[in-house]
Amino acid sequence: MAVGPRDWARPPSLWHDHQARTHGPWADRAREGPDQVILTVTLNTALDVTYTVDALVPHSSHRVGEVSERPGGKGLNVARVLGALGHDTVVTGFVGGATGGVLRDLLAPLPPRDALVPVAGNTRRTLAITDRSTGDTTQLNEPGPQVSGAEWAAFLRTYEELLGAADAVALCGSLPPGIHVGAYAELVRIARAASVPVLLDTSGEPLRRGIAARPDLVKPNADELAQLTGFREPLRAAGDARRRGAHAVIASLGPEGLLAVTPQGTWRAAPPAAVRGNPTGAGDSAVAGLLSALAEGLDWPGRLARAVALSTATVLVPAAGEFDAEAYAELLPRVSVESAGEAA
């Protein structure tokens, strides 16, 4: 069942790094522990369908061994991982049609609270085909429903209300058809006006415009960062992304881990060994790791270690929005975090 944006009280804030910032309310924010509400925004939600086959062979028919359906889209994946970690999370974005109804039914028993906004169009599906023989996954993503101007306006009203009860917001994923390319920049500005710290995880032109609105944290992968800046070397590219407006940049380097360029310092974090499996959702788990660690007051090395351990443990399960809890616990103390320079 959906919940309204006024159904919970706003707890103390979490992003204590901002105490040192000079613009207005940031200086008043204090670290208070893990009881904060985290809002995740998924404008292009999806019903994630996973097929498992013995071996994926082009130009041939396949008998599917297992089929699973889960509520998806990057922000929903983030929220599901946060919920599994015990954090209070609210999800918003667009949902519609028969597929959207299935998504909401699947979301209902899970920890994230549903504040999704209905649209006339049908929520997209994503199809992941997992090959048992190799452990590899092939991903097919539909574009999403057409969103009208009136539906976008309704979402903005909901978003502004939800920010009043949120302690941080994560803006995640692609834009559905009909949404203007500067949508994330608009949402960043609204969050900043409400003094709510904002993480942005998107790509392409929405990232380029969004970063100019000065989000507190961006989490591109290496290819997205190179596309944004024109630099292939991650450290140089991350520094350029900060100059474009991001307060901190966490670059995902795939199996090599994460690179963090922040005002407090620069670090590289890597798993103890590469793992094979389904990388879909690994970046979303990294976002959840960063947000949860911020909520619990961890320093940057602690945040990065959790993000890397969670993303690696996500590769070991067949679907996004989940992670292997035993592997996560085993990996966490073995993640390598090394300083790569002074404060940026």
Residues marked active site are found at: 284
Give me the helix-helix angle, 300-315 and 282-295, nearest 10°.
150
List alpha helices for 164-299, DSSP H: 183-193, 204-212, 222-229, 234-244, 282-295
Distance set, CA 268 to CA 86, 244, 251, 311, 334 (Å): 27, 21, 10, 15, 14
Find out whether 109 and 85 touch, Cβ atoms under 8 Å. Answer: no
Q: CA 310 to CA 275: how far, in whole Å? A: 13
Q: CA 253 to CA 234: how far, in whole Å? A: 8
Residue bearing tokens 């970063």: 211
| Of 172, 169, 168, 245, nearest in space to 208 by CA | 245
Query: Hey, how many other C-beta atoms are within 10 angstroms of the C-beta on 181?
Result: 13
Q: CA 127 to CA 67: how far, in whole Å? A: 10
Q: CA 263 to CA 7: how far, in whole Å? A: 36
Query: Hey, how many other C-beta atoms are within 10 angstroms of the C-beta on 195?
Result: 15
Residue bearing tokens 């389904």: 278
